[in-house]
């Protein structure tokens, strides 16, 4: 799977490792914890806003954590990725290369579905209908490779034009087919076209959002409120005949081959019980409220930097409709 260009939550928890392995996703490792704000309040309490109310959701798909405001929506992310490929395609055609021949706008829908599946499993599986069909397995569309063309299929001249580099990694300085190659190749041109002038300051803002999300998620895992709801979930599962300390342990059960074509009956039985107990004990709502509290504290501590990231996110989103009108079609042969 091609890694998203703006990193959203790839939680550094063991439970994600198994099912995200099917997507070849890299775990986001948190380097340190976000410190709690305020004097004597519960962990994750913001000093400038009220505590986050605990919802009672039946899925996490539509929940929006506070730091989501500083990241592209799933639709914006998908359209941005698609446009990157389209601009690369148009640029490569200028050198006579038929690049990404199978690219279509269907990529957008598939990518949105992938992002939504990530979010639906933020605290483990959260949708009963999916659990009864797939257990802990990912959906077929999500588990498939999303990159429309592998780099290894490109010829040496194609790679040079795409990357703007010689095979030895040196910057390409000679024309290709009597035409200068843009700085960074067609990939660099595409990135600048879609993302604009992403300065070092802007990039630091995006990196900050990704780091804060990872840290808030990690800290919420050890929060006493999450530990308490996990104990209630475990007791519920025990009543159904399954012994697991928490939802992570159910996903990590060594009996499940999450890279296989489909789940076993035992996996489906555990997964459906998992969902029932999550809904009975409100695991999803408690996890969301706790994580949102840590994110709010992080936002208060980094308000100035995050405001700049949000402004640049808005300017990128404003460019997408015009870019779609210009590039949402395959280039014609010259």
- How many beta carbons lie within 10 A of that of residue 310, not counting itself? 15
CB 296 within 8 A of CB 66: yes
- pLDDT tens digit string along 290-303? 999 999 999 999 99
**What phi, psi does 153 have (nearest 5°)?**
-85, -5
Q: Give the torsion sign (CA, 55, 124, 115, 210).
A: positive
- pLDDT tens digit string along 184-233? 999 999 999 998 876 677 778 889 999 999 999 999 999 999 999 999 99
CB 11 within 8 A of CB 65: no
Q: pLDDT grade, residue 81 (50/70/90)?
A: very high
**Residues near 97 by beta carbon (within 8 Å), at least 6 away in sequence:** 157, 158, 161
Higher-pLDDT residue of 32, 284: 284
Instruction: For residue 280, give both structure tokens.
Output: 């009975």
Residue 255 to residues 24, 132, 140, 263, 268, Cα–Cα distance (Å): 21, 17, 21, 10, 12
Residue 257 to residues 18, 60, 120, 145, 254, Cα–Cα distance (Å): 9, 24, 20, 19, 8
CB 226 within 8 A of CB 286: yes
Instruction: For residue 131, give both structure tokens.
Output: 């659990």
């Amino acid at each position: 799977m091609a890694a998203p260009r703006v990193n959203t939550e790839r939680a550094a928890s063991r439970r994600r490792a198994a099912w995200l392995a099917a997507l070849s996703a890299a775990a986001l490792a948190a380097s340190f914890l976000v410190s709690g704000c305020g004097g004597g309040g519960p962990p994750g309490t913001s000093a400038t806003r009220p505590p986050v109310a605990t919802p009672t959701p039946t899925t996490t798909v539509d929940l929006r954590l506070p730091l989501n405001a500083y990241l592209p929506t799933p639709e914006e992310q998908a359209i941005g990725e698609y446009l990157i490929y389209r601009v690369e395609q148009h640029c490569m055609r200028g050198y006579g290369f038929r690049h990404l021949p199978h690219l279509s706008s269907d990529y957008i829908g598939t990518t949105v579905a992938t992002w939504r599946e990530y979010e639906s499993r933020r605290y483990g599986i959260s949708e009963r209908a999916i659990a009864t069909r797939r257990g802990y397995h990912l959906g077929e569309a999500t588990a498939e490779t999303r990159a429309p063309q592998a780099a290894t299929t490109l010829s040496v001249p194609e790679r040079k034009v795409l990357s703007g580099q010689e095979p030895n990694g040196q910057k390409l300085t000679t024309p290709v087919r009597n035409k200068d190659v843009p700085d960074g190749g067609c990939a660099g041109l595409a990135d600048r076209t879609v993302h604009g002038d992403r300065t070092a300051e802007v990039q630091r803002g995006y990196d900050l959002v990704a780091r804060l999300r990872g840290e808030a998620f990690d800290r919420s895992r050890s929060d006493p409120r999450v530990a308490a709801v996990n104990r209630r979930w475990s007791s519920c599962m025990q009543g159904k005949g399954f012994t697991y300390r928490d939802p992570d342990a159910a996903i990590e059960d060594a009996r499940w081959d999450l890279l296989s074509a489909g789940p076993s009956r035992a996996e489906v039985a555990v997964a459906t019980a998992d969902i029932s107990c999550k809904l009975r004990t409100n695991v999803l709502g408690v996890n969301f409220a706790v994580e949102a509290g840590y994110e709010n504290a992080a936002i208060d501590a980094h308000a100035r930097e995050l405001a700049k990231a949000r402004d640049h996110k808005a300017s990128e989103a404003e460019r997408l409709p015009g870019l779609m009108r210009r590039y949402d079609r395959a280039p014609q042969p010259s």
